[in-house]
Amino acid sequence: MNWSLFFGELVSGLTLGSIYALIALGYTMVYGILKLLNFAHGDVYMVGAFIGFFILQWLGGPLKPVVTGWLAVAIMFAVAMIGCGALGVGIERFAYRPLRNAPRIAPLISALGVSIFLQNSALLLWGPQFRDYDTFDLVGVKSYHIGQNFFISNIQILTISVSIGLTIALTLIVSRTRTGKAMRATSFDRDAAEMMGISIDRVISFTFFLGSALAAAGGIMFGLVFGQIFSLMGFTAGLKGFTAAVVGGIGSIPGAVVGGFLIGLLEAFATGYLPGGSVYANLYVFALLIVMFLIRPSGLLGSPVIQKV
């Protein structure tokens, strides 16, 4: 057994899975409340990565930031999460709300339209070039090792920790706050919740804000770990996040996190162990999606929908 390879892929998978989990949370929350697959979510993640990049430039760039590297990272997270939260609210207000009572295919098409709009706007505004976070210059990447076989970098630790921290914060918001209770009520029965005096519009806007903010955090984490961002990065990441949400059980917050980590680990171990894995890792990931649909359509932690007849 090559333990070095095993632990290496484990850390890579958890890092990648952290990013997928954050994207999947946005998909699952919006689906839970609106029963809508928000296909623009991957592009919100891309916008978050770019907001982080431009904030970094505004702070003087990675070589000479006007604040310390870690403070710059914190500011990038904060601004990008607020910016993307606002973007998510805007998308819901103008692209989905007018279609709330339309047939279910209409908002789905609208979501695809928003995705293409965001992608092409990014291409037009920022060009198709890769933008470099230069994490080495910004925070100084350090690699830690335990024994001969276990290696992890400070950026990987940060990514996994931030992801777990944000998931816990989200869980607390949903389970312990009045707004969270309103979200759960809306998800359970929108009409009944409205009759109980809950402002549905406000709850839905807040859900979009949270989901988009989490996607922005994922985008910045991608830039920090892998060094570069580009305007088309949201498409594949969005698909993986969606797959993670489905595998975990769409509508389930713990399911999204489990699905995200599962997809990340599968991708990493497929690259490390399976033939042609580094080229065909996506094949294995999407094959899992198909298998999951066949065996357990409601996902790992999703509950089967019971229909009255």
Is 58 a binding residue for another protein by CB under 8 A? The answer is: no
Is 129 a binding residue for another protein by CB under 8 A? The answer is: yes
Answer left, alpha or beta for residue 256, where phi above 0 means left and psi between -120 and 50 means alpha.
alpha
Is 233 a binding residue for another protein by CB under 8 A? The answer is: yes
Under 8 Å between Cβ of 288 and 248: no
Is 3 a binding residue for another protein by CB under 8 A? The answer is: no
Is 307 a binding residue for another protein by CB under 8 A? The answer is: no
C-alpha–C-alpha distance, residues 144 and 162, integer Å: 18
Give the shortest CB-7-to-another protein separation in angstroms: 8
Closest CA to 210 of 305, 303, 115, 84: 84
- From the list 56-64, 231-239, 283-291, 299-307, the region that binds another protein by CB under 8 A is 231-239
C-alpha–C-alpha distance, residues 133 and 176, integer Å: 36
Under 8 Å between Cβ of 216 and 240: no
Closest CA to 13 of 267, 225, 281, 270: 267
Give the shortest CB-260-to-another protein separation in angstroms: 14
Is 155 a binding residue for another protein by CB under 8 A? The answer is: yes
Is 110 a binding residue for another protein by CB under 8 A? The answer is: no
**Helix residue ranges per DSSP H, the chain:** 3-34, 41-58, 69-91, 105-126, 135-139, 154-176, 178-188, 190-195, 200-226, 233-248, 253-273, 277-295
Of residues 193-222, those binding another protein (CB under 8 A): 222
C-alpha–C-alpha distance, residues 98 and 245, integer Å: 26
Nearer Cβ to another protein (156/207): 156
Give the shortest CB-17-to-another protein separation in angstroms: 12
User: Residue 202: what are its φ and ψ, rounded to 5°?
Assistant: -65, -40
Is 153 a binding residue for another protein by CB under 8 A? The answer is: yes
Tell me how many degrees the CA angle 290-32-203 measures, rounded to the nearest 5. Answer: 155
HEC sequence for 188-226: HCHHHHHHCCCCHHHHHHHHHHHHHHHHHHHHHHHHHHH
Is 136 a binding residue for another protein by CB under 8 A? The answer is: yes
Which of residues 54, 70, 117, 235 is near another protein by CB under 8 A?
A: 235
Count of residues that bind another protein according to CB under 8 A: 43
Give the shortest CB-270-to-another protein separation in angstroms: 8
Give the shortest CB-159-to-another protein separation in angstroms: 11
Is 12 a binding residue for another protein by CB under 8 A? The answer is: yes
Is 69 a binding residue for another protein by CB under 8 A? The answer is: no
- Residues of this chain that bind another protein (CB under 8 A): 4-5, 8-9, 11-13, 15-16, 127-130, 132, 135-136, 141, 143, 145, 151, 153, 155-156, 222, 225-228, 230, 232-233, 235-236, 267-269, 271-272, 276-279, 281
